[in-house]
Amino acid sequence: MPLKDCRIIELPKISDPRGNLTFIEGSQHIPFDIKRAYYLYDVPGGSHRGSHAHKNIPQFIVAISGSFDVLLNDGHDKKRFHLNRPFLGLYVCPMMWRDLDNFSSGAVCLVLSSKHYSEADYIRDYQEFLTKIK
Ligand code: TYD
């Protein structure tokens, strides 16, 4: 899948003086049904996460709090996305190498996934990734 298929999606935002509300419905706001949610938090400054690709699993990444960068790489092109709003998320298609860094203090990274956790879906070796996308 080419990098241009990965994109920022703006989510609904119900603005309210009592506090804003954003919601995400699978196959409505993002292009897959949601089977799993996980989140990264208490990330020490200077830490890196990710550094892998998924063979078949698309994901959607939101900075629920704070900010961080997601660097996507399809083996040909690279693009850095800075996520810093809870109503904006990044759709990451399968077979996309991703690195997450530049976490602000207090950042929370929510990831929605179309499948349950499966280590078999990961490619954790960059050379293997390059070979597979050819
Ligand atoms: P990993 O996906 O490598 O973390 P990152 O978000 O930095 O890409 O996962 C780290 C560890 O957590 C790994 O041992 C697998 C485990 N894990 C689960 O058990 N379930 C999950 O849903 C996820 C995402 C990870």
Q: Across the chain, what does the average pLDDT equal? A: 97
pLDDT tens sequence across 36-59? 999 999 999 999 999 999 999 999
Q: Whose CA is nearest to atom 4 of ligand 1?
A: 50
| Model confidence at 133: pLDDT above 80 | yes
- Residue 58's pLDDT is what? 98
* Rounded Cα–Cα distance for residues 91 and 32 (Å): 10
Does the active-site annotation cover 52?
A: yes
| Model confidence at 1: pLDDT above 90 | no
Q: Whose CA is nearest to atom 25 of ligand 1?
A: 117
- Residue 13's pLDDT is what? 98
- Residue 134's pLDDT is what? 86
pTM (whole model) above 0.75: yes
pLDDT over 90 for what percent of the chain?
Answer: 98
> pLDDT: is 121 or 2 the higher one?
121
Helix/strand/coil percentages in the chain, nearest 5:
10, 45, 45
pLDDT tens sequence across 6-45? 999 999 999 999 999 999 999 999 999 999 999 999 999 9
- Residue 48's pLDDT is what? 97
114 CA to middle of ligand 1, Å?
A: 15
Residue 110: its H or E element: strand 108-113
- Residue 2's pLDDT is what? 83
DSSP assigned state of 134: -
Q: Which two tokens stand for residue 58?
A: 């698309």
41 CA to middle of ligand 1, Å?
A: 13
